Structure 1
Amino acid sequence: MAQASHGSVLDDLGGRIAAGEQAPGSVLTLAGLESHYGVSRTVVREAVRVLEAMGMVESRRRVGITVRPIDRWNALDTRLIDWQLRGPSHRHHLAVVTELRAAIEPVAAALSARRASDVERAEIARLAAELQRLGAAGLGDSDEYLAIDIAFHELILDTSGNLMLAATKAAISAVIAGRARLGLTPGDPHDVALENHVATARAIARGDAASAEEHTRTYVEAILSEVRSS
């Protein structure tokens, strides 16, 4: 891999570790990586530094670069999510992050129903209407639908008024995008999921926290069922 850049070294090495090609406990060396990628020691060090910050490797003098156990990795790092969704176990990882959505998004929707401003409620309703329009046109697998879907979920997390919930926004967006990239977002969205997106928006608009939570749980569980069955 001659003349690789820092970004390409990071992406390739991180992807190999995430895919299990470099198992936890295996040891790499700067010299070996430098030779493999055909880059300078500085480029290798920069990539390793990022992986250390993500908890994926540990670099020690006279030992080398050791791949750390999976439970030490920063599971919500969007780069890691992307690598995992590109790997051979992508369906498992997609289900794992969708389970996170099922735990977080219903609570966020309930809080949004209590805390969102009138302007924010109107925007959530507009986004839901756009999803409904695009879905009805068979464009559920389009880039436009994906962008609006991400904006819809991010806005609900933001308007929850809870910074801890909002902090999961990037990870949830990454898995929504990853699901689309895997071809698992249907052109004709399932009625249960789409109708409950709209019902969630309406519940938030009228300040009905219980209904917002219920409808959100319904559509996330429908997505989780699709992921598991696929």
Structure 2
Amino acid sequence: MSKSLFETVISGAPKRTSHAQVVDQLGKAIVSGEFPVGSILPGDPELAARFRVSRTVLREAMKTLAAKGLVVPRARIGTRVRPRNDWNLFDSDILTWHFASGVDDEFLYHLSEVRLAFEPHAAALAARNATDAEIAGMMRLAVAMGDANHTAESLAVADLKFHLSVLDASGNPFLRTVGSLIEAALVGVFKLSSPTAEKSGIDEVARNHIRIVEEIGRRDEAAARSAMEHVIKVGRDRIRQALHADTA
């Protein structure tokens, strides 16, 4: 998976192509509820004028949104917004659109529960399968998270690299495909809260991640699983506190 999503969120840079811009703006409008579930999207002429693109670009964007499970075309009716249960929530764009439109405790809880279902098991598998070179690479990434000069952006990227390296080291190619979910979750952490405000926060993040690698290096599957669970729960609690502080 490329880092383009993360880099786009961090930089705030717009999508490069007309197709990507339409997909992004329409996707956000659907996820935010501007176009509610069950509603029919405006016709091609209206949407083409709204986004200042050709009908060809618009149709290609609709195909992309349909592939993500957001919409379905109906002959003589129009393009309908599908129920949320049909949306592909493992899609990195859809997850990022949720964060862009605002997330609540329930959404974060569901997201963390999925991470807890996958990542601790990936850490346990890494303890069983990782090569010495992979363990050394994970340790370098974990130690690098303790750099006192980290900005919120650079720490978020370092965090992502670490978690993806654990998925790689698990040796299970299916686990690597959940990387988009983890990327979107960490984008949410970056946007809502970062431990870089205090040096002790960065030190704690580094220590917690180093512990994961230490347990993997000991080939202790249960301890590696536990250490990963702790990291995910700490991140979840930090976001929850940030959300509550914003609404206080």
Q: TM-score scaled by structure 2?
A: 0.83
Measured in 2, the distance between the counterparts of 1:37 and 1:224 equals 36
1:191 Cα shift? 6.0
Q: What are structure 1's unaligned runs of at least 5 residues? A: none
Structure 1 residues 173 and 69, CA gap change in structure 2 (3 angstroms):
same
Which whole-Å deviations, capped at 9, do the CAs of 1:129-172 have from their partners, x for residues lacking one? 1112x2xx263x43332222111100101111122222101220
Measured in 2, the distance between the counterparts of 1:229 and 1:11 equals 29
- Count of equivalent residues: 222
Q: What are structure 2's unaligned runs of at least 5 residues? A: 1-16, 243-248
The alignment status of 1:60 with 2:74, answered yes or no, reads yes
Measured in 2, the distance between the counterparts of 1:13 and 1:35 equals 13
The alignment status of 1:223 with 2:232, answered yes or no, reads no
1:227 Cα shift? 2.1
Which whole-Å deviations, capped at 9, do the CAs of 1:8-46 have from their partners, x for residues lacking one? 111111110011111001001223212322321111101
Q: How does 1:74-153 map to 2 (within 5 A)?
A: 74-89=88-103, 92-132=106-146, 134=147, 137=148, 139=150, 141-153=151-163
8 Å CA contact 1:105–1:216 kept in 2: the answer is: yes
8 Å CA contact 1:193–1:218 kept in 2: the answer is: no
1:55 Cα shift? 0.4
Structure 1 residues 176 and 164, CA gap change in structure 2 (3 angstroms):
same
Return the letter of the residue paired with 1:228. Answer: R
Measured in 2, the distance between the counterparts of 1:8 and 1:58 equals 20
8 Å CA contact 1:95–1:227 kept in 2: the answer is: no
1:99 Cα shift? 2.5
8 Å CA contact 1:106–1:216 kept in 2: the answer is: yes
Match of 1:25 among 38, 48, 51: 38
The alignment status of 1:169 with 2:179, answered yes or no, reads yes
Q: CA RMSD in A?
A: 1.9
- Residue 34 of structure 1 is matched in structure 2 by 48
Match of 2:212 among 200, 203, 226: 200
Q: TM-score scaled by structure 1?
A: 0.89
8 Å CA contact 1:30–1:64 kept in 2: the answer is: no
8 Å CA contact 1:85–1:91 kept in 2: the answer is: no
1:95 Cα shift? 4.0
- Residue 27 of structure 2 is matched in structure 1 by 14
Return the letter of the residue paired with 2:24. Answer: D
Measured in 1, the distance between the counterparts of 2:131 and 2:208 equals 21
Measured in 2, the distance between the counterparts of 1:18 and 1:41 equals 23
